[in-house]
Structure 1
Amino acid sequence: MKAYILVGLGGVLGAMARYHVCRWTGGRWPGYPWGTLTVNVLGSFLLGLLLTVSFFRGQAHLYLAVGTGFLGSFTTFSTLAYDFMQLIKANRASAALLYVAASLMLGLTAVYLGTLLGKIT
């Protein structure tokens, strides 16, 4: 039961953070799915950091709350897929391909940088 509570509380906070980041980035730079790109790249970095920092090793309750709960609801693959299809429907195939490529490359780079930073700390 404790695990469900930890995941749920982390999930609530992650969803709220995602909403805030998407509103902020989408409002500042409309016309492109900046919010989804931002949360996915930031979430990738934070997950890489979380899985590497020695403070979190052996701390299953922190991983459940932060990794599964917070970052699980903060990041989103389904919205990435939806945003891609919306760009295709709007006849913006180049933007759609750039979005998927940027999401993948920046996400992978962010995880890598997070793990590097985690090894330093």
Structure 2
Amino acid sequence: MEIVLWIIAGLLAVAFLFAGAAKVLQPKEKLAASGMHWVEGTSAGSVKLLGGLEVLAAIGLILPAVLDIAPVLVPLAALGLVVVMIGAIVVHARQKEVQAIVMNIVLLVLAAAVVWGRFGPYSFSS
């Protein structure tokens, strides 16, 4: 299970690193044109903030455990992603974007598995 948790955390880190970097680096109009229609009703600053949080969570899923510095940050980063995905589900539900909701649920379940495993039976302190 230890390896499975590392794989899940790695996949989540890659996904959120790229998604967050896109939100931070690209203008809101370009994101909307690429299919992220939810940004149209959101301020540019909020989109950048969300992207920054996603990048930080991606880093927090891997770096603390690899460096063995405050590894408790790993499940906390995953918990943050659970909260972000709940918000994303609400936003996409309001816009009736079913396909996006399905992806958000998958990411939420994966992040929740990391929270459960790293706070529970497979924590780095045990």
Which structure shows the bigger proportion of residues in helix conformation?
Answer: 1
**Structure with more contact order per residue of length (Cα contacts < 8 Å, sep ≥ 6):** 1
TM-score of the pair, normalised by structure 2: 0.41
